[in-house]
A and B are shown apart, each in its own frame.
Chain A
Amino acid sequence: MELAIERKNLMEIAEAAQRVAAKNSPQPAFSHLLLEARGGTLLATASDGEVWLRVAAPAEVAGEGAAAPPAHLLAGLVRRLPDGPVGLRSGPDGATLRVAYGSSGAALRGLDPEVYPPFPERTGGETRFSVDGGTLGKALRRVLFAASTDPARPAFNGVLFRPVGDGLRLVATDTFRLAECRLATNGGGPAEGADAVVPLRALREVQRLASGGVEGAVEAAIGDGYIHFLLPGGAELYARLIAARFPNYEEVIPSGSTTAARLGAGELLAAAERAGMLVENDPLSPPLVALSFGEGRCTVAARTQTGELREELRATVEGEPVEVWFNWRWLAEGLRAVGDGGIFLGLNGPLGAAVFRPEGREEGQAYTYVLLPTKPPGE
Chain B
Amino acid sequence: MERAILLADMNSFFASVHQALDPTLKGRPVIVGGDPEKRHGVVLAASYEAKAKGVKTGMTVHEARRLCPEGVFIKPQHHLYVHFSTRILRIMRDFTPLVEPFSIDEAFLDVTGCQKLFGSPVDIALALKRRIREEVGVTCSVGIGPNKLLAKMAAELQKPDGLTVLRHEDVPARLWPLPVRELFGVGPRYERHLKFLNIHTIGDLANFPVKILRMRFGVYGEVLWRCANGIDESPVDPHSLERVKSIGQQVTLPRDYYRLAEIKVVILELAEKVAERARGGGYAGRTVVLSLKDANFAYLSRMKTLPAYTDLAADVYRAAVELLERHWPEGWPVRTVGVALAGLAAGPPRQLTLFEGREKWESVERACDYIRSRFGERAIFRAASLTGAGVRYAG
Contact = CB atoms under 8 A, between A and B. Distances in A.
A379 B346 CA distance: 11
Nearest to B353: A175
B351 to A, nearest CB: 5
Nearest to B354: A252
A299 to B, nearest CB: 19
B318 interface: yes
B356 A175 contact: yes
Nearest to A153: B318
Q: By DSSP majority rule, is chain B's interface helix, strand, loop, or mixed? A: mixed
Contact of A376 (B308, B321, B349): B349
Interface stretch (A83-91, A234-242, A311-319, A366-374): A366-374
Contacts of A327: 351
Contact of A353 (B349, B350, B354, B356): B354
B379 interface: no
B307 A174 contact: yes
A288 B307 contact: no
A176 B355 contact: no
A176 B322 contact: no
Nearest to B352: A372
Contact of B353 (A151, A152, A286, A372): A372
A373 B354 CA distance: 11
Contacts of A249: 354-355
Contact of B319 (A152, A370, A375): A152
Interface in A258-309: 286, 288
Interface in B324-363: 345, 347-356
A152 B354 contact: no
A173 B352 contact: no
A26 to B, nearest CB: 15
Contacts of B319: 152
Q: By DSSP majority rule, is chain A's interface helix, strand, loop, or mixed? A: loop
A377 interface: yes
B313 to A, nearest CB: 15
Contacts of A176: 307-308, 351-354
A42 interface: no
B354 A372 contact: yes
Contacts of A152: 318-319, 321-322
Contacts of A362: none
A96 B252 CA distance: 56
Interface residues on A, range: 20 to 34
A175 B358 CA distance: 10
B348 A252 contact: no
A378 B349 CA distance: 7
A173 B349 contact: no
A175 B361 CA distance: 15
Contacts of A376: 349
Nearest to B322: A152
Contacts of A379: 347
Contact of B354 (A151, A173, A286, A377): A173
A346 to B, nearest CB: 15
A288 B353 contact: no
A374 B351 contact: yes
Nearest to B326: A151
Contacts of A374: 308, 349-352
A176 B354 CA distance: 6
A377 B353 contact: no
B349 A370 contact: no
Given A150-B307, A152-B318, A152-B322, A377 B355 contact: no
A286 B321 CA distance: 27
A203 B93 CA distance: 64
A129 B194 CA distance: 67
A320 to B, nearest CB: 19
Contacts of B307: 150, 174, 176
A52 interface: no
Interface of A: 150-152, 173-178, 247, 249, 252, 286, 288, 325, 327, 351, 353, 370, 372-379
Interface of B: 307-309, 318-319, 321-322, 345, 347-356
5 contacts: A176-B353, A252-B354, A286-B348, A327-B351, A372-B351
Given A173-B355, A175-B354, A249-B354, 19 more contacts: A150-B307, A151-B322, A152-B318, A152-B319, A152-B322, A175-B353, A176-B351, A176-B354, A177-B354, A252-B354, A286-B309, A286-B345, A286-B348, A288-B349, A353-B354, A374-B308, A376-B349, A377-B347, A378-B347
The 8 closest A-B pairs by CB, nearest first: A372-B352, A375-B350, A378-B347, A175-B353, A374-B349, A252-B354, A286-B349, A377-B349
